Amino acid sequence: MRPLFSSYSLPLLLLFISTFHTINANNLIHETCKKCSQKDPNLSYNFCVNSLQAAPKSQSVDDLRELGKISIKLIKQNVTNTRSHIKKLLGNKNSDSFIESCLSDCFDLYSDAVPTLSQALKDYKAKRYDDANIEVSSVLDASTTCEDGFEEKKGVVSPLTKR
């Protein structure tokens, strides 16, 4: 599984907040994704554009700061949905005990990520970008840690990889 939005590169987006000037509303998403994808090899330009354009409020955004808020909210939505998905998987009594254990660890990691993202959004709105960046990065690390747990046993495939 790819780390949560690692290809989305929110920490890099937060870094650009301080250097970008307001860009024409029609080009903001494309320009931001282009610049970020050039700086981060893990960022897919198309994924970035598609993710941001899918957010209804992004169509009326005219500054990078607002786009940053939308990005954090998208990550929080993804984390919350993934947590719910893991909870459903944990209810499956036919699971292997190793997979069940990994899912339980992932559930804890994703559960901790929700309030972390709430704090990241508060810090971002208060222009404490370094704090917001650290918090978002920790969530990205948590998703990687979750996926890595499944790799500890040869032949086990994470049921979260496609998510």
pLDDT tens for residues 45-63? 998 889 888 888 887 888 8
pLDDT of residue 12: 57
pLDDT of residue 158: 93
Distance CA 159, CA 163 (A): 8
> Which amino acid belongs to residue 26?
N
pLDDT tens for residues 116-140? 999 999 999 999 999 999 999 899 8
Q: Which pTM does this prediction carry?
A: 0.79
Instruction: Give every CB contact of residue 48 below 8 A, 6+ residues apart in sequence.
Output: 7, 8, 9, 29, 32, 33, 36, 37
